[in-house]
């Protein structure tokens, strides 16, 4: 199961409902918003994980951050602690607030949901991405030599969308979207 499916199906949909309630969206709107945001976050994670030391850092963050609570306990999604954690995650994944704004603006054009609302949802989406990976990694080996494959198996379906034989164009497209077309 890829990370978007994990998030959308978590707690029988309660996670998506709570995320939406937090920012004033219906469940359908929240699902659409997450469908636009999660692939870009996955591209950022993939990019970071493929840099030197990046996979070890990602594995350590996934295993040590207590992120699974965000899908296990949806009521935590609206807390200031969750938003702060999500903003920290976004800083690592996207690098700057300008990129986060560009991601929200691009997702707004895809979904018809206001960019201001998507900016509020973005840190929650980031915590849910980490939570989905934490859930996948439960009971897995603790080093990148043996444990990174499962993380990449969650990221790959999000990145390889058109099944044309090359994932490169899909990754570059997602990173381009993430960087606002720059």
Q: How many domains does the chain have?
A: 1
Averaged pLDDT, 24-38:
95
In the 3-class helix/strand/coil scheme, how is the chain assigned residue by residue? CCHHHHHHHHHHHHHHHHHHHHHCCCHHHHHHHHHHHHHHHHHHHHHHHCCCCHHHHHHHHHHHCCCCHHHHCHHHHHCHHHHHHHHHHHHHHHCCHHHHHHHHHHHHHHHCCCHHHHHHHHHHHHHHHHHHHHHHHCCCCCCHHHHHHHHHHHHHHHHCCCCCCCCHHHHHHHHHHHCCCC
Distance CA 27, CA 12 (A): 12
Predicted confidence band of residue 1 (pLDDT cuts 50, 70, 90): low
Average pLDDT of 37-54? 85
The predicted pLDDT at position 163 comes to 44
Residue-level pLDDT at 84: 93
pLDDT in the model for residue 173: 53
Tell me the pLDDT tens digit for each residue of 120-173. 999 999 999 988 888 876 544 444 444 444 554 555 444 444 444 433 344 445
Indicate the pTM of the whole model. Answer: 0.77
- Residue 139 and residue 106: Cα distance in Å, rounded? 36
**Separation between Cα atoms, residue 115 and residue 37, nearest integer Å:** 12
Write down the pLDDT at residue 138: 56
Question: What pLDDT, in 10s, does the model give residues 94-116?
Answer: 888 888 899 999 999 999 999 99
pLDDT for res 160: 42
Quote the CA–CA distance of 90 and 61 in Å, as a whole number: 13
**For residue 18, what are the contacts with CB-CB under 8 A and spacing of at least 6?**
74, 75, 77, 78
Determine the length of the chain. 182
Range 144-166 burial, b when 16+ CB lie within 10 A, else e: beebbebbeebbebbbbeeeeee
pLDDT at 107: 92
Q: What are the residues whose beta carbons fall under 8 Å from the beta carbon of 179, sequence distance 6 or more?
A: 99, 102
Q: State the residue range of the domain holding 63.
A: 3-178
pLDDT of residue 49: 79
- Average pLDDT of the residues of the chain: 78
What does the pLDDT read at residue 166? 39
């Amino acid at each position: 199961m890829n990370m978007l499916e994990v998030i959308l199906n978590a707690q029988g949909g309660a996670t998506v409902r709570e995320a939406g309630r937090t920012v004033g969206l219906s469940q359908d709107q929240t699902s659409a918003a997450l469908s636009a945001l999660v692939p870009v976050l996955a591209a950022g994670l993939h990019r970071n994980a493929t840099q030197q030391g990046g996979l070890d850092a990602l594995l350590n963050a996934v295993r040590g951050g207590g992120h699974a609570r965000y899908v296990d306990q949806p009521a935590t999604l609206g807390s200031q602690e969750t938003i702060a954690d999500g903003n920290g995650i976004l800083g690592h994944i996207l690098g700057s607030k300008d990129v986060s704004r560009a991601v929200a603006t691009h997702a707004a054009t895809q979904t018809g949901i206001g960019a201001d609302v998507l900016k509020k949802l973005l840190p929650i989406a980031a915590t849910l991405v980490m939570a989905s990976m934490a859930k996948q990694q439960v009971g897995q080996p603790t080093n990148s030599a043996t444990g990174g494959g499962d993380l990449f198996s969650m990221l790959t379906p999000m990145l390889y969308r058109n099944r044309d034989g090359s994932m490169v164009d899909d990754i570059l497209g997602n990173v381009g979207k993430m960087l606002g077309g720059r």
